[in-house]
Amino acid sequence: MHFYATAQLALAMTIALVLPPQALAAPVTQLVIGTGSVTGVYYPAGGAICRLINKNQKERTIRCSVLATEGSISNLHALDDNQINLAIVQSDAQLAYLRGSGEFSSKGANPHLRSLFSLYVEPLTIVARKDSDINGLTDLLGKRLDIGNPGSGDRSTMELLMQAEGWAANSFASVSELKGAERAQALCDNQFDAFVYVVGHPSGTIKEASGNCDINLVPVADDTVTKLLEEHPEYTKTIIPGRLYRGVDKDIPSFGVVATVVTTDTLSENIAYAIVNAIFSNFEQFKRLHPAFSTLNRKNMVIQGLTAPLHPGALKYYQEVGLVTREQQK
């Protein structure tokens, strides 16, 4: 029996030595990225990120999947509860989570959030029925408005604008709070006069609305917005390019946030390194995976909108390729 056991052990060791590495099953890390509505940009953005992560590995030890969610705020709560590993969130929500302010005031400051990279600017977009005669911010008063569902970045950004303008819910004829995927049809069904969406462009939801009824995009620009931007550096002045949607030919001024990809300090350094390596080593391919990515800039992606510290694994990669210097991290 002793000889038989020894022979079996020797055989097993021989097999292990001659088999190629891929034949020996390595543990697979399952990553779930929280995104947003399936008709928004976060969901396909998450899909693009997962596609490159899953494709560009030598040993296939990471498996990334996408989860449709309520948006930025719910993503951060899910990240906090270990329900997801990665999240796409607005830069203002990221800052509130770090500070323990706004939606996260009951939890207090959270020092465990880590940045991986940022994506594109998301303008606060107000989509109105053309027959509602809403051509500026003050025209919203007394009208029916959808301000975004609870747990979404749309809602939190609009509430900040309302507070700055001195508006309350009773400033409008009615207030609804539909999910992103429901707003376009509801607008064209005349359930409300306008809806709010913080989104990268072009947006599937807004294309749906412009294809089914006549719309216009409302300029989000006045003295109050100028002052708001001075007080809140997590927001940036931007425009929504014209000719992206039927009937909207001119550029529309607004302000916006930056879509950012975050995780926590529980993610291993090797996994974080592999994630950013998959994106930045295949950058031109990544830019072609969604129209909102077309203007991405590598250097901006490692600094813009990122208030949470860079994850050590991401930082290691960025230093290796020269996107971040050691002096910049001091």
279-299 residue pLDDT tens: 999 999 999 998 889 889 999
Average pLDDT over the chain reads 90
49-80: burial string, b at 16+ Cβ within 10 Å, e else: bbbbbeeeeeeeebebebbebbbbbbbbbbbb
pLDDT single digits (tens) 26-44: 689 999 999 998 888 899 9
Closest CA to 315 of 115, 88, 119: 115
In this prediction, what percent of the chain has a pLDDT beyond 90? Answer: 77
My answer on whether 127 and 116 are in the same domain is: no
pTM for this predicted structure: 0.79
Query: How far does Cα 225 stand from its chain's mean position?
Result: 23
Closest CA to 199 of 246, 252, 250, 162: 252
Let me know: does 261 contact 119? Beta carbons within 8 Å.
Answer: yes
Show the domain range for 81.
26-121+258-320
DSSP letters, 238-255, are EEE-TTSBTTB-S-EEEE
My answer on whether 161 and 35 are in the same domain is: no
Q: How many domains does the structure of the chain reveal? A: 2
What pLDDT was estimated at residue 6?
A: 41
Which residues are CB-contacts of 297 (< 8 A; sequence separation ≥ 6)?
Answer: none
My answer on whether 44 and 85 are in the same domain is: yes
What pLDDT was estimated at residue 3?
A: 39
Let me know: does 238 contact 256? Beta carbons within 8 Å.
Answer: yes
Element (H, E) at 101: none
Which residues are CB-contacts of 250 (< 8 A; sequence separation ≥ 6)?
Answer: 242
Residue 229 CB-half CA count within 13 A:
17
Tokens for 109, please give them.
């400051």
What is the pLDDT tens value at each position of the chain, 330 positions in all? Answer: 443 344 443 434 343 444 455 545 568 999 999 999 888 889 999 999 999 999 988 778 999 999 999 999 999 999 999 999 999 999 999 999 999 998 899 989 999 999 999 999 999 999 999 999 999 999 999 999 999 999 888 999 999 999 999 999 999 999 999 999 999 999 999 999 999 999 989 898 999 999 999 999 999 999 999 999 999 988 989 999 999 999 999 999 999 999 999 999 999 999 999 999 999 999 999 999 988 898 899 999 999 899 999 999 999 999 999 999 865 554
Give the whole-angstrom CA distance, residue 118 versus residue 180.
Answer: 22
CATH of the domain at 64: 3.40.190.10
Q: Is residue 20 part of a domain?
A: no
Tokens for 79, please give them.
């990240």
In this prediction, what percent of the chain has a pLDDT beyond 70? Answer: 91
What pLDDT was estimated at residue 329?
A: 56
My answer on whether 263 and 239 are in the same domain is: no
DSSP-H helix ranges across the chain:
2-18, 42-55, 72-80, 91-99, 153-165, 180-188, 204-212, 223-231, 269-280, 283-287, 298-301, 312-320
pLDDT single digits (tens) 125-153: 999 999 999 999 999 999 999 999 998 88
What pLDDT was estimated at residue 295?
A: 87
Out of 257, 283, 301, pick the residue that ends a domain: 257
My answer on whether 234 and 172 are in the same domain is: yes
What pLDDT was estimated at residue 13?
A: 39
Closest CA to 156 of 105, 204, 209, 221: 105
- C-alpha dist (Å) from residue 128 to 17, 119, 132, 147, 243: 67, 27, 7, 12, 16
